[in-house]
């Protein structure tokens, strides 16, 4: 008998001993027990992205010192249990400011904290080994891992005489990985053209029209995209500052390696966001929704929620969010804003500081459960004024739907509204109301909401 079978036999013996007082005992076959105990979850078992919520697993200026990957690794199990299906990491490669950088000034795309350059070996977040352990732990907990891709600009190059500017520029890149070396020919201006869609912060601006740059970013077998997907095991992509290059660039990257993809197209116009998602053939952060929520919750006027948003145009390509590492304009009624995105269409993202530090985690976990178990179908607006907002998710074959009631006034509110259910008892799944009314034959019912709060109603 092998050591493995001995362990299985001991496990079964202990199980039978502890269960001797039970009238009936169900014993699984040894092979099933062996698989359950000894085999970790694999990537085939990942939750489909969009079935839960995304966690932005960082904030600006997270603690330096190389501890962040381990910090996140210790949280992925709890996040998965709460209903998260993917984590979005900050840029993982070595940047100009080394151990102090948040990664948005990339230097060596293949240095994940294993080369001594830019003043440090580790990145701000930790070592390559620690990053790999984090990704493995996330996968073992059924979470996809989304990489933050910064390909508009680079930083940290050496000075060279630039024939296109007739002056010296910091455009000579010889990273220690010896992968994707770059010169003035790979940035703007060059022998192909002077510029593309936009520059950022005065950094060296990559020219994505050059075949050499395309090869190294997504075409070669060891390109950045394929190395991140096949070697580092990333599952998806968040593209930074996509205003700086044409939509086809992100689209070609995604087509080369697959995976969930979302772009940061910072624009509050829903039509513009829809144009970009159509061109890039991927999702975008719903900045139109973000600004409407700012006006509604920070500006104390829920009528703003009637405005145009990407999720109203194409929910399948809208990633909704209340704040992120760059924005934090909604300071009041923030939990109510989360009640909005976690009950409405789109793929909602949570911000690390909101979840871990600033807001009521139990309330957020409750909203995540509501999103994952009740929120489905298209949305019908039932009532909106300055202080009150009521909407109905109409459900689908797998989820029964819900009604969300948001109130930013200082008094209790009650409304008669029409549900999708006749002669059915409903309840508030937030626990903020103890009412359990029965809908009338014509599907109408009265619901309530406390001051400066929200309730979410569905079949009991």
* Rg of the chain taking only CA atoms, in angstroms: 25
Q: Identify the active-site residue in 130, 196, 235, 240.
A: 240
Residue for token pair 């960082």: 58
Q: Which pair of structure tokens corresponds to residue 158?
A: 């050496």
DSSP string, 347-404: EEEEEHHIIIIIS-HHHHHHHHHHHHHT--S-EEEEEE-SSEEEEEE---SS---EEE
What's the 3-state SS for 196-237? CCCCCCCCEEECCCCHHHHHHHHHCCCCHHHHHHHHCCCCEE
Please confirm, yes or no, whether 264 is among the known catalytic residues: yes
Which residue, 111, 35, 56, 50, is CA-closest to 347?
Answer: 50
**Binding-site residues from annotation:** 152, 215
Residue 325 DSSP class: S
Q: How far is CA 312 from CA 262, 316, 380, 389, in A?
A: 17, 10, 11, 16
- Tell me the binding residues for Ca(2+): 152, 215
Please pick, among 85, 122, 196, 264, the residue that the annotation labels catalytic. Answer: 264
Distance between CA 128 and CA 125 in Å, rounded? 10
Chain position carrying tokens 């907990």: 141
DSSP annotation of 438 = B
Crossing angle (nearest 10°) for helices 247-257 and 270-280: 40
Task: Report the 10 Å Cβ neighbour count for 10.
Answer: 10
Active site residues: 240, 264
């Amino acid at each position: 008998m092998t050591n493995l079978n001995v362990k299985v036999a001991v496990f079964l013996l202990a199980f039978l001993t502890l269960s001797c007082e039970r009238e009936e005992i169900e014993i699984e076959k040894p092979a099933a027990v062996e698989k359950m105990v000894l085999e970790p979850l694999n990537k085939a078992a990942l939750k489909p992205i969009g079935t839960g919520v995304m966690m932005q697993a960082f904030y600006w200026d997270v603690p330096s010192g190389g501890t962040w990957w381990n910090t996140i690794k210790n949280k992925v199990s709890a996040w998965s249990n709460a209903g998260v299906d993917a984590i979005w990491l900050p840029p993982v490669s070595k940047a100009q400011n080394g151990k102090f950088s948040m990664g948005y000034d990339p230097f060596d795309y293949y240095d994940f904290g294993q080369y001594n350059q830019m003043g440090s070996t580790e990145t701000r977040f930790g070592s390559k080994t620690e990053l790999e352990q984090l990704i493995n732990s996330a996968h073992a907990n059924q979470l996809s891992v989304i990489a933050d891709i910064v390909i508009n600009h680079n930083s940290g190059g050496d000075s060279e005489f630039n024939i296109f500017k007739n002056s010296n520029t910091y455009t000579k890149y010889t990273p220690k990985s010896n992968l994707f070396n770059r010169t003035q020919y790979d940035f703007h201006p060059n022998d192909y053209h002077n510029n593309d869609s936009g520059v950022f912060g005065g950094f060296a601006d990559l020219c994505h029209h050059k075949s050499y740059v395309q090869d190294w970013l997504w075409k070669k077998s060891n390109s950045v995209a394929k190395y991140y997907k096949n070697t580092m095991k990333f599952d998806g992509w968040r593209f930074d500052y996509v205003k700086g290059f044409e939509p086809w660039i992100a689209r070609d990257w995604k087509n080369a390696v697959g995976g969930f993809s979302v772009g940061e197209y910072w624009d509050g116009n829903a039509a513009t966001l829809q144009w970009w998602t159509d061109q890039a053939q991927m999702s975008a952060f719903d900045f139109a929704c973000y600004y409407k929520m700012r006006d509604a919750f920070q500006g104390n006027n829920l009528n703003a929620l009637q405005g145009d948003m990407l999720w109203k145009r194409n929910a399948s390509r809208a990633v909704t969010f209340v704040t992120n590492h760059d924005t934090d304009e909604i300071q009041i009624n923030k939990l109510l804003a989360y009640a909005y995105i976690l009950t409405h269409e789109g793929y909602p993202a949570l911000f690390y500081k909101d979840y871990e530090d600033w807001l009521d985690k139990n309330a957020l976990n409750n909203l995540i459960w509501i999103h994952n178990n009740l929120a489905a179908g298209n949305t019908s607006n039932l009532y909106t004024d300055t202080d009150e907002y009521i909407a109905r998710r109409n459900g689908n074959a797998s989820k029964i739907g819900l009604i969300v009631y948001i109130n930013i006034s200082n008094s209790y509110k009650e409304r008669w509204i029409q549900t999708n259910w006749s002669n059915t008892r409903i309840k508030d799944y937030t626990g903020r109301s103890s009412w359990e009314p029965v809908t009338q034959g014509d599907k109408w019912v009265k619901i309530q909401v406390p001051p400066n709060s929200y309730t979410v109603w569905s079949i009991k």
